[in-house]
Amino acid sequence: MAPVLFAGVAATDAHAQAAEPWEAACIMRHLDPNGDGFLSIRSGPGSNYSEILRVRNGDSMPIDTRKCRGKWCYAESINKDGRRLQQTGWFHTGWCEMIP
């Protein structure tokens, strides 16, 4: 199986680069392409908060797992369409693959 790419590096490299045990990455993997095909990044940890940005399968976000609130985690930046955005926000983890 080929390594998964994360922000231009292999996931195995991203794992090796984690400096602290609470550092992780979320790679969007489980969004239904036949459905709406996106996940909303929100201003707070819940669907009642306003939408900031939409991410799709293959987009990724580095996170600090200490800031997660239940199934919601805070994205410290967002890698979207091969570009790193200085955008932050909250997302539901049900549609991502966590890379420690």
Q: For position 55, what pLDDT does the model report?
A: 94
Q: What's residue 19's pLDDT? A: 67
CA distance 100 to 61: 12
d(CA 81, CA 72): 22
Range of the domain at 64: 5-99
Give CA–CA dist 24/14, Å, rounded: 9
- Whole-model pTM: value is 0.74
What is the tens place of the pLDDT at every residue in 15-72?
445 567 788 899 998 888 788 889 999 999 999 999 999 999 999 999 988 999 999 9
Per the structure, how many domains does the chain have? 1
Mean pLDDT of 80-94: 92
pLDDT band at 7 (very low <50, low <70, confident <90, very high): very low
CATH code of residue 57 = 2.30.30.40
